[in-house]
Structure 1
Amino acid sequence: MGRERVGAEIRDHGLRLTDLHGSDIEVGASDIAFDTGPGTAAPVNARLVALIREAEAGGNRQWSGEALLADLRSQRGPRKPAGKRQRS
C-alpha cells in the first residue's frame, strides 16, 4: 500500500531489488500487489514486520534477496495491477 505516484512507477517499471550479498532481482509489475485505498490488506507488509521482530529477537538476519523474495511471495494475497485503487 502506498502513494499513487509510487504505484504508477511500479506499474510502469516494476522493481529492482538488490542487497549487500550481490543479489540483483527484477520484479515485474504483474508480480506486485499495490493499492492506495484505506483498509487494504497488506500481508507482505505484515510479514516484513514479523521478520524484523524475529531478527530483533535473535532470529535470522542473513536473508538473501532470493530467499526473502520467495518468503514474501508466499505471503501475498490475490494480485491486482500495481497502482490501481480498489473501490468499496
Structure 2
Amino acid sequence: MEIQQETLHLQAEKNLVARENEYIDRDLAQKSADTDVTRSLADSNRNLSLGMKTLLEKTGDAEVTQAAQPSVRTSAPPRDTTLTADGSRQ
C-alpha cells in the first residue's frame, strides 16, 4: 500500500514537472515570436530609411545636374503669325 502511494506521489510530481516544462516551452516560444516581430519591425524601418535616403540623394543629384546644365526651354517657341501679302499666314 505504501509503495502504491509513493508511486502515485512520484507520478503526480512527474506530471507536474511535465506541465511546468510545457509552460516553459510556451514561454520561450512566445519570447522567440516577440523577438521575430521586433527584428521584422527593425528590418522594415531600416529598409524605409534606406529608401528615403536613396530618394533624397537621387533628387539632390538630379537638381545639381539640372542646375549645372544650360537653361533649356520647356515651352514651344512662339508661332509666327505674320500675314503675307495675300492675307494668308506664313
Same fold by TM-score greater than 0.5: no
Instruction: Look at both structures and tell me which one has the larger radius of gyration over its CA atoms.
Output: 2
Higher helix share: 2
Class of the TM-score when normalised by the shorter of the 2 chains: under 0.3
- TM-score with structure 1 setting the length: 0.22
Bigger share in strand: 1
